[in-house]
A = this chain, B = another copy of it.
């Protein structure tokens, strides 16, 4: 839960997730969407991966990132406890 909330506590990372909602993207394609250096984006992707929010697959020289929403269920459940 800590890693999850931490990962989502950043506008850039939340936007990355929204891009990945549309389709899988390489690290470079993601970086191109922001005015932030590639190493910084790489770091953001690492935090998202640590939280389980994305998975990465290497294809040749590219690394594809894809959304994994299953970990969000835990968070949904946590929030829902307050709404009942």
Contact = CB atoms under 8 A, between A and B. Distances in A.
Interface of A: 1-2, 5-6, 8-11, 14, 17-18, 21, 67, 69, 72, 75-76, 78-83
15 contacts: A1-B14, A5-B5, A5-B8, A5-B14, A8-B9, A9-B9, A17-B82, A21-B81, A67-B82, A69-B83, A72-B83, A76-B76, A76-B80, A76-B83, A79-B79
Q: What does DSSP make chain A's interface, helix, strand, loop or mixed?
A: helix
A51 to B, nearest CB: 12
Nearest to A73: B83
Closest 7 CB pairs of A and B: A9-B9, A5-B9, A69-B82, A5-B8, A72-B79, A69-B83, A6-B9
